[in-house]
Amino acid sequence: MAAYGLYTHISSNKFRSMLLLAGLFLLIYVVVFAGALVAEVLLHDGRSVDFYLTQARRDLITAFPYATIAAALWIVIAYFFHQNMIDAVTGGESVTRQQQPRLYNLLENLCISRGIPMPKLKVMDSPALNAFATGLNRRQYSITVTTGLLQALNDQEIEAVLGHELTHIRNGDVQLMVVAVIIAGVVGFFGELFFRMFTNLSWNSSGSSWSSSSSSSSSSSSSSDRDSKGAGGAIIAVIIAVALILLAWLLSQVVKLALSRSRELLADAGSVELTKNPDAMITALRKIENRGELPGATSAVMELCVDNPREGFADLFATHPSVDSRVKALVQFAGGHDPGPLALPSDAADAHDQPKESETGQPPVPRGPWSNAGEPAGVSDPRPGPSQGPWGRHS
């Protein structure tokens, strides 16, 4: 495993960032075309599919410059204000040396030792154990850590986490992730707008036509003589529009697959290269494991974090490799030692607060709906559950 400064990895990230931005415009054009199909169905009842497709293409050509300007405007807004948007979601606040001398000094020492420009430092008030880096250029780079991380990790472990995030900045991973967030935001916005419009449509069975729920019923008599072929064309056009929207959404999710999971392994290795302490990175990962969930954060923000406990179906869309695989790589290539899953004092306190079986007559309920994440080592739910099946995460 190469530890740091992989120019091919950095160049690949820059190329994929540009490719994803180009793909953003394509996805928006697909959504606009789908919206034009629905609009033509509303304006012209009982026409053929070819008619609707032809009209929608003309509408797309007309709307092309406006859609392009809208996409470019969103990119500009996200470029300058994405950090404010993320801070609004997570509650992260900038801190100074006087407010957080311990954290500030650890980050500053890492930057000075390698000649790395000092990013902004932010703290998020959350019991979760996590951290993430954001920014699209040197003036915007920032690292956000949670208060839970500061309380649970010692200085060496915090230094390892900061080194991990600094490596993301150096390797260009942050830019690629922010671009992915921009794409997901645009497609999600237009997709929601389309489906809100679509839910206002109703099928007029007597007139065999689509109409808006807000339109008057007098139009039904004028369309009662439409033949079944025209009615079928309207249905097929709407089905095509829905399929295009679903395709755009799916492609926006597949963008995650362009975010190679190897970036986390490289960032772990980069942290070891910075700190010369593989054991600190390993114990930090073991403490963060299954404790990094940020309740108010979107999935896009979680994908920026050191560990993302949220998984896709059968782990297909997971943006992070498992902690076990990351630790195994550090043990194999960096010579660290794996202590195994670690229990924190807070876990024992939470377990003590839960009622025992003798008090309630029932086995204790595991924390969280899907797994026993966060329980002390050696404590497990005796009943079978999702976390013990093929879809759950095993600690």
Structure tokens at 169: 């900045």
Helix-helix angle 262-275:101-114, to 10 degrees: 90
Q: Which residues of 48-67 are buried (b: 16+ CB within 10 A; e: fewer)?
A: ebebbbebbeebbeebeeeb
d(CA 127, CA 117): 29
Residue 179 and residue 20 in contact, taking contact as beta carbons nearer than 8 Å: yes
124 CB burial (10 A radius; 0-12, 13-18, 19+): buried
Q: Annotated catalytic residue: which of 40, 159, 165, 303?
A: 165
Q: Which of 346, 384, 343, 345 is nearest to 363 (CA)?
A: 384
Q: Give which of 325, 301, 311, 307 is closest to 368, Cα–Cα.
A: 311
The answer to whether residue 165 is catalytic is yes
Unique residue bearing structure tokens 């019923």? 217
Q: In the 8-state DSSP scheme, what is residue 305?
A: B
The runs of H, that is alpha helices, within the chain are: 7-43, 49-90, 101-114, 147-152, 155-171, 173-199, 219-222, 228-254, 262-275, 278-288, 299-302, 323-334, 345-353, 357-360
- Give the whole-angstrom CA distance, residue 241 versus residue 238: 5
Q: Which residues pair with 143 in a beta bridge?
A: 121, 133
State the Rg of the chain over Cα: 26
Evaluate whether 192 touches 296 at the Cβ level (below 8 Å).
no
Q: Are strands 131-134 and 93-94 parallel, antiparallel or unpaired?
A: unpaired
Task: Using CB atoms within 10 Å of the CB of residue 194, give its burial: 0 to 12 exposed, 13 to 18 middle, 19+ buried.
Answer: buried
Show which residues are catalytic: 165
